[in-house]
Structure 1
Amino acid sequence: MARKVRVFVKDSSQHVILKSLDKLTIFRDESDYRAFVTILQECNAGHGLAIHAYVLMPNYFEFLATPANEDALSKFMQSLGRKYVGYFNKKYNRSGTIWEGRYKSSLVEDLKFLFDIMIYIEKKAPAEHIFSSKQKNLYNKKDDVVTYHGLYKKLGFTDEQRVQKYSTLFNAKSDEKKVEFIAVCLEKQNVTGGLEFVKNLEKIVGMILSSKERGRPKKDSIEKGKKMYKNLVILDKENHKELKINPLTDLNFAKSATHIPLLASEVSQIGATFPIVFTADETPSLVAVVSLGADSLAITTDGKWITSYVPSYIRRYPFSLASTKENPEQKMILIDEDSSLFSKSKGKQLFKKDGEKSETLDHAINFLTSYDAQMNITLNVAKIISQSGILEDREISVGEGDEKKVLVKGFKVVNREKLNALSDDILADWVRKGIISLIDAHLKSLNNIQTLFEIVQKRQN
């Protein structure tokens, strides 16, 4: 079984736990605790990890932290684990590891779960236990390990105000369902976040990050529709050494997609034919609406895109890309193993006879890398637009009154009046950054809602 993919999102915290082997007591006296804290601070000095909450218990170390970059957490944990093993084995005259295995981590949706996880961690510390961030966050005592999170700082203008408000949260009755959810997410290394947050991450990494227990997406979301990828697996040069790929000529694999995620650079091209909207998520993305509730209207009966330009989201199939926390420098290539584009008898080889990547595979990897970089830029732009408050809910429907039938809902568009009401400095900044050009293309594309009906009518005829 492949290792669980660790997901990194800039400025998002991670809930982490490192357990001892067979519940070995790794802190046998106070000097062990103090030695671990010293090593912890030394290891963190160059790795840019802001620790917001932590607890040291006899057989595990658990904490909440925001990594400064993609490999900050993994490098910190490797260094910490190795150095404390050296200290412990020397002191107690033993050899071998003291750790259960790899640390477990869960990416956190901070706005919804930050304080819940801080409290979850700190409530594990006994009342008089001093090796916990509770001493600082709850009692305002000195602790050089802890760095306040931005949300904690917003609790008040002074340390006393923050402690008072955090104390209120800390002493409130626990939501047992939320506590269980946090525990399960960490144990299974799932994302600790709401459905919308998780779905947005899935768009970025191109694979499912949620567990089946989370349930299906809401029916009123524009996100409904079958996914293109049916069986994503890690590309392996041994298991797939004979695999060949054929040209992307038949797009029927995307026939059931009701919307297509877009890069900011594609809005003008795709918007010339289809309406471009913002998803109604807390972290919205740009999508082209290509359906009125049934199959895609952008793909013809013979599997062709109806215009000359095919969106990057479609063109990257049957590949996808993700990063691993063990080696963030190296990208993990995924393929839809069930794709009809793959064959062992015809097409272009993915690997050369010596096991090295072929030119075809190199080209695919370069495309994926460029796509992910541009998608991150697009999501940041969509976030800026959303935070300005100029988006409003919209739906596509037919008929009126009792005869009204909603065909597409769960999306947002820019309100022109709210856009014009923004301050001059914001508008000027958006002009320089190209955001206004994107918004103009988006607004113009909304005229193509009628185009969807015209395509339906032509196909019916």
Structure 2
Amino acid sequence: MTVQMLFYEDAVPVQGARHAECFVEMRGYGFCRGVNSVPLTAVEFRSAAGEYPIVFVQSGASLWPAVVLGLRREENLMVTEQGEWLGRYIPAFVRRYPFVFSAAAGDRQMVLCVDEAFPGFNRQGRGEPLFTPAREPSPYVGRVLRFLQEYRAQFARTRAFCERLQQLELLEPMQARFTVGTMPLSLGGFLAVGRQRLKALPGDALASLAAQDELELLYLHLHSLRNFESLHHRLPFAAAEALPAAEAEKRVTVH
């Protein structure tokens, strides 16, 4: 499954013939309890940097910012067992669920899809209808479309930002290390801006980053790395103690 799909299991196009009597009821964020990071768009840096570590994740030729939500694989420390989100800011990637845009290969037209595996998807009248009695898209679907269109536009801007970081060779591998009780934990598999690399940039490159408001994004990213300590304090002590060191080392890669 691609990074952009993560917790989606059965996303299908929204169609009147199939979904005329379907509803979506949002019942918390339990659906993302098993992910330790989610993608972030550049416009979200300011809102996210105050409480989450923002890192960069490389997958093949693709580079993408992500917020770290847990220190072990399949563990989201920002979601309670009841599905409540503990942070003040909820990433747009999470808020768009269970909807997503999709396009067939070679087709530029985006199609709205819904994950029918989402627990809040139902035909019992709970929540927001997807269609009106006349089988027209409901006002709720209209709001979803506007949100996803804006998300897609920010996605494109963020991709261009990441391409510039690659061209300037500003990123370097990073690991965050912790000790919980007597057990060491190490979180890796991500990149961060190297401070010395940033300082070594020529003036014209720095001016270009500043003119596009991207220099601010880099400093927000660097500042956000302090939030690893906050995640560390959220880690249940008993769970960490019970996890063998070899198993811990396998569970800490950012996805």
Both proteins in one fold, TM over 0.5: yes
- Structure with the higher fraction of residues in strand conformation: 2
* Of 49, 62, 66, the match for 1:287: 66
| Contact kept? 1:395, 1:406, Cα under 8 Å | no
Cα root mean square deviation, aligned: 2.2
Task: Tell me the distance in 2 between the aligned counterparts of 1:432 and 1:380.
Answer: 15
Task: Tell me the distance in 1 between the aligned counterparts of 2:127 and 2:228.
Answer: 39
| Contact kept? 1:235, 1:335, Cα under 8 Å | yes
The equivalent residue for 2:166 is: 386
Identity of aligned residues (%): 26
| Contact kept? 1:393, 1:411, Cα under 8 Å | yes
| Contact kept? 2:56, 2:64, Cα under 8 Å | yes
* Of 252, 260, 265, the match for 2:38: 260
The equivalent residue for 1:270 is: 48
Task: Tell me the distance in 2 between the aligned counterparts of 1:422 and 1:309.
Answer: 32
Amino acid aligned to 1:337: E
Task: Tell me the distance in 1 between the aligned counterparts of 2:191 and 2:66.
Answer: 10
TM-score w.r.t. the length of structure 2 is 0.85
The structural deviation recorded for 1:397 is 2.7
* Of 75, 82, 87, the match for 1:302: 82
In our comparison, the structure showing a higher alpha carbon Rg is 1
Change (3 A) 1:326 1:441: closer
Amino acid aligned to 1:376: A
The equivalent residue for 1:428 is: 207
| Contact kept? 2:48, 2:91, Cα under 8 Å | yes
| Contact kept? 2:47, 2:89, Cα under 8 Å | yes
The equivalent residue for 2:250 is: none
The equivalent residue for 1:397 is: 177
Alignment of 1:39-50 (within 5 A): none
The structural deviation recorded for 1:308 is 2.4
Change (3 A) 1:326 1:283: closer
Task: Tell me the distance in 2 between the aligned counterparts of 1:288 and 1:417.
Answer: 23
The equivalent residue for 1:15 is: none
Task: Tell me the distance in 1 between the aligned counterparts of 2:238 and 2:113.
Answer: 36
* CA deviations over 1:266-305 (Å, ceiling 9, x no partner): 1121111111001133321000111111410111232122
The equivalent residue for 2:244 is: none
Task: Tell me the distance in 1 between the aligned counterparts of 2:86 and 2:13.
Answer: 32
The structural deviation recorded for 1:339 is 0.8
Change (3 A) 1:326 1:287: closer
The equivalent residue for 1:238 is: 17
Matched residue of 2:162: which SS? helix
Task: Tell me the distance in 1 between the aligned counterparts of 2:122 and 2:184.
Answer: 44
Which gives a bigger RCO, structure 1 or 2 (Cα 8 Å, sep 6+)?
A: 2
Change (3 A) 1:422 1:326: closer
Matched residue of 2:219: which SS? helix
Residue 251, structure 1, aligned to residue 66, structure 2: no
Task: Tell me the distance in 1 between the aligned counterparts of 2:10 and 2:139.
Answer: 24
TM-score w.r.t. the length of structure 1 is 0.48
Q: Which consecutive unaligned segments of at least 5 residues does structure 2 have?
A: 240-255
Alignment of 1:102-181 (within 5 A): none
Task: Tell me the distance in 2 between the aligned counterparts of 1:235 and 1:315.
Answer: 18
Alignment of 1:190-205 (within 5 A): 202-203=2-3
Q: Is 233-242 or 317-326 further displaced after alignment?
A: 317-326
Aligned pairs, how many?
Answer: 235
Amino acid aligned to 2:39: P
* CA deviations over 1:157-206 (Å, ceiling 9, x no partner): xxxxxxxxxxxxxxxxxxxxxxxxxxxxxxxxxxxxxxxxxx8xx44xx4
| Contact kept? 1:249, 1:304, Cα under 8 Å | no
Q: Which consecutive unaligned segments of at least 5 residues does structure 1 have?
A: 1-198, 208-226
The structural deviation recorded for 1:338 is 1.1
